[in-house]
Structure 1
Amino acid sequence: MTDQNNASLPSFDFADVQAAHARIRDRIVHTPTLKSITLSELSGADVYLKFENLQFTAAYKERGALNALLLMDESKRKAGVIAASAGNHAQGLAYNARNLDIPATIVMPNTTPMVKVEQTRGHGAEIVIHGTNYDESYAHALELAEQRGLTYIHAFDDPHVAAGQGTVAIEMLETVPGLDRLIIPIGGGGLFSGMATAARAINPGIKLTGVQAALYPSMYGKLSGKTVTAGGDTLAEGIAVRNPAEFTAAVIKKYVDEILLVGEAQLERAVSLLLQIEKTVVEGAGAAGLAALLANQDKFAGEKVGLVLCGGNIDTRLLANVLLRDLARSGRLARLRLHLRDQPGALYNVVREFADHEVNIIEVYHQRVFTNLPAKGLITDIECEAKDRDQLEALIAALNKSGYDVRQVELAD
Structure 2
Amino acid sequence: MDNITVTLDDVKKAQAALAGLVHHTPLDRSHTFSAMVGCEVYLKLENLQKTGSFKIRGAYNKIHSLTDDEKRRGVIAASAGNHAQGVAFAARLAGIRATIVMPEVAPLAKIMATRGYGAEVLLAGAVYDEAFQKAKQVQAEKGQTFIHAFNDPAVIAGQGTVGLEILHDLDDVSAIVAPIGGGGLIAGIAAAVKELAPHVKIYGVQAQGASAVYMSKQAHELKTTPDAVTMADGIAVKVPGDLTFAIIDKYVDDVVVVDDEATAGAILMLLERAKLMVEGAGAVSLAAVLHGKIPAKGKVACILSGGNIDVNFISRIIERGLVKAGRRVKMTTLVLDRPGELQRLLAIIARSRANVIHVYHDRVARNVPLGQAVVELSLETRDALHTDEILANLRREGYTVNLL
| Secondary structure of residue in 1 paired with 2:378 | strand
**Of 323, 329, 332, the match for 2:327:** 332
Pick which of 255-264 and 221-230 moved more: 221-230
* Deviation, structure 1 residue 310: 0.7
Q: In structure 2, do the counterparts of structure 1 residues 404 and 258 end up closer, same or farther at CA, with 3 Å as the change threshold? A: farther
Structure 1 partner of 2:360: 365
Structure 1 partner of 2:318: 323
List per-residue Cα deviations over 1:3-27 (Å, max 9, x = no partner). 43xxxx5622222212211221232
| Secondary structure of residue in 1 paired with 2:205 | strand
1:117 alignment partner AA: I
Q: In structure 2, do the counterparts of structure 1 residues 10 and 153 end up closer, same or farther at CA, with 3 Å as the change threshold? A: farther
User: Which sections of structure 2, spanning at least 5 residues, go unmatched?
Assistant: none
Q: In structure 2, do the counterparts of structure 1 residues 61 and 370 end up closer, same or farther at CA, with 3 Å as the change threshold? A: farther
Matched, 1:22 2:23: no
1 CA distance for matches of 2:370 and 2:140?
67
Matched, 1:246 2:242: yes
Mapped contact 2:365–2:374 kept (Cα < 8 A): no
**TM-score, with normalisation over the residues of structure 2?**
0.92
1 CA distance for matches of 2:291 and 2:100?
36
1:335 alignment partner AA: K
1:71 alignment partner AA: S
| Secondary structure of residue in 2 paired with 1:300 | coil
**Of 167, 188, 196, the match for 1:194:** 188
Q: In structure 2, do the counterparts of structure 1 residues 289 and 379 end up closer, same or farther at CA, with 3 Å as the change threshold? A: farther
Mapped contact 2:156–2:184 kept (Cα < 8 A): yes
Matched, 1:138 2:160: no
**TM-score, with normalisation over the residues of structure 1?**
0.90
Structure 2 partner of 1:261: 257
Mapped contact 2:186–2:204 kept (Cα < 8 A): yes
Aligned pairs for 1:170-319 within 5 A = 170-225=164-219, 230-232=227-229, 234-296=230-292, 300-319=295-314
**Of 147, 155, 177, the match for 1:153:** 147
* Deviation, structure 1 residue 327: 2.4
Structure 2 partner of 1:395: 390
Matched, 1:353 2:338: no
* Deviation, structure 1 residue 344: 5.0
Mapped contact 2:182–2:244 kept (Cα < 8 A): yes
* Deviation, structure 1 residue 349: 3.7
Pick which of 388-397 and 360-369 moved more: 360-369
* Deviation, structure 1 residue 308: 0.8
Matched, 1:407 2:402: yes
* Deviation, structure 1 residue 343: 5.4
1:132 alignment partner AA: A
1 CA distance for matches of 2:107 and 2:29?
32
Aligned pairs for 1:109-120 within 5 A = 109-120=103-114
| Secondary structure of residue in 1 paired with 2:51 | coil
Mapped contact 1:286–1:308 kept (Cα < 8 A): yes
1:20 alignment partner AA: A
State the superposition RMSD in angstroms: 2.2
Q: In structure 2, do the counterparts of structure 1 residues 73 and 288 end up closer, same or farther at CA, with 3 Å as the change threshold? A: same
* Deviation, structure 1 residue 370: 6.7
* Deviation, structure 1 residue 176: 0.1
Pick which of 52-61 and 20-29 moved more: 20-29
2 CA distance for matches of 1:221 and 1:51?
28
User: Which sections of structure 1, spanning at least 5 residues, go unmatched?
Assistant: none
1 CA distance for matches of 2:371 and 2:254?
59
Identity of matched residues, % = 40
